Amino acid sequence: MKIATWNVNSVRARVPHLVAWLGRFAPDVVLLQELKCMDADFPMMEIEATGYRASFQGQKSYNGVAILAREAIEDVVIGLPGDPEDAQARYIEATVSGVRVASIYLPNGNPNPGPKFDYKLGFLARLEAHARGLLALERPVVLGGDYNICPTETDVWDEKAMAGDALIDPLSRAAWRRIVNQGWTDALRQIHPQLRLYSYWDYFRDRFTHDHGLRIDHLLLSPQAADRLMDANVDRSPRGLEKPSDHTPAWVELRG
DNA sequence: ATGGTCGGGCTCCGA
């Protein structure tokens, strides 16, 4: 069972790449972020034509998350609990083939410091509380998405160039560790402990050409999912196409 | 070296 996460930076702008990649990579589940469209504008027909179903939470212009799957998408929960005032479309969770999956678009948090960084830390605190409840289910759970956090120096092409950035802030990293240390497995790091594996390259300054990237897209596995972990990686190929997203898919393969 | 380039939606915001 292949589960992937991909920040597409506008699902409508990325329909050709998304459709081609679904056909080539054939994932069982895809967790999308940054749809950048309202529900009514989601390209449902184009995606269904590829053999996938979709559940999603859209929003005008910003954010937006989706779960695509070839099998049924059940028990959908939209929104991260803990703040009824939060209107940003950043969280969707569902069950596919017995695996609980979440598509998460964590706040970027820049400029740092400021209210956007405070919102990021608040969102992380809510995610920490919710993740603890998911672990208690003692089921296979995969928390995938754009976390907007580089967990360690190995996940950044150049820490100096990122000085002061919310993506490498010690408070962001500490919040990430608090979640992981509950008992989650960072799937790509588990399979590739030392590799520089990036999932994002900024559009400007030919960052992809020079492999000046960041690892900010992650798949966290509950122990019951980690038991089944066979392989994990990023698929760099979509990032090299014309009109790419600035992110490329990260994926895990689970036994069964 | 505080620039550069995208996407969305409409003269600038978010990343």
pLDDT tens digits along A37-91: 999 999 999 999 999 999 999 999 999 999 999 999 999 999 999 999 999 999 9
Is the CB atom of residue A2 positioned under 7 angstroms from any atom of strand B?
no
Output the pLDDT for position A140: 98
- Pairing type for strands A217-221 and A2-7 reads unpaired
The helix or strand, by DSSP H or E, that contains position A131, with its residue range, turns out to be: helix A115-135
How many angstroms separate the CA of A205 from the C1' of B2? 14
Distance A199 CA to B2 C1' (A): 24
Contacts (Cβ under 8 Å, ≥6 apart) of A32: A5, A6, A7, A8, A11, A18, A56, A65, A66, A67, A68, A103
CA of A215 to C1' of B7 (A): 22
Distances (CA, A) of A70 to A2, A179, A214, A226: 11, 29, 30, 22
Query: Which nucleotide in the DNA or RNA is closest to residue A7, CA to C1'?
Result: B15
Average pLDDT value for residue range A10-36: 98
Strand bridging mode A29-33 / A2-7: parallel
What pLDDT score does A84 carry?
94
Question: How confident is the model at residue A169, as a pLDDT?
Answer: 98
Asked if A65 and A145 touch (Cβ cutoff 8 Å), the reply is yes
Q: For residues A35-61, b (16+ Cβ closer than 10 Å) or e, as one string? A: bbbeeeebbeeebeeeebebbbbbbee
- Of A residues 85-124, those with CB within 7 angstroms of nucleic strand B are 107-108, 110, 116
- Under DSSP, is residue A156 helix (H, G, I), strand (E, B) or coil? strand
Q: Give the closest residue to B6 (Cα–C1′).
A: A203
Subset of residues 51-90 in chain A with CB less than 7 angstroms from any atom in strand B? 60-62
Whether A254 shows a pLDDT value over 90: the answer reads yes
> CA of A163 vs C1' of B2, distance in Å?
12
Q: What is the average pLDDT score of chain A?
A: 98
The distance from CA A199 to its chain's CA centroid, rounded to whole angstroms, is 10
- Give the distance, in angstroms, between residue A15 CA and nucleotide B9 C1': 19
The answer to whether A36 CB is within 7 Å of strand B is: yes
CA–CA dist A101, A29 (Å, integer):
9
The C1' atom of B11 and the CA atom of A39 lie apart, in whole Å, by: 26
CA distance A163 to A161: 6
Question: pLDDT tens digit string along A151-162?
Answer: 999 999 999 999
φ and ψ at residue A192, rounded to 5 degrees:
-125, 80
> What is d(CA A75, CA A73) in angstroms, rounded to the nearest whole number?
7
Summarize pLDDT for A210-245 with one digit per residue, the tens.
Answer: 999 999 999 999 999 999 999 999 999 999 999 999
Q: Tell me which protein residue sits closest to nucleotide B4, measuring alpha carbon to C1'.
A: A204
Q: What is the DSSP letter of A117?
A: H
CA distances, A217 to each of A42, A53, A74, A117 (Å): 22, 23, 24, 18
Give pLDDT, residue A256: 87
Which nucleotides in chain B lie less than 7 Å from some protein C-beta? 2, 4-9, 14-15
- Pick the closest to residue A5 from A107, A138, A143, A98 (CA basis): A143
- Dihedral sign of CA atoms A246, A76, A30, A197 in order: positive
* Residue that is written with structure tokens 């492999």 in the block: A211
Does the pLDDT of residue A181 top 90, yes or no?
Answer: yes
The nucleotide lying nearest A63 (C-alpha to C1') is: B14
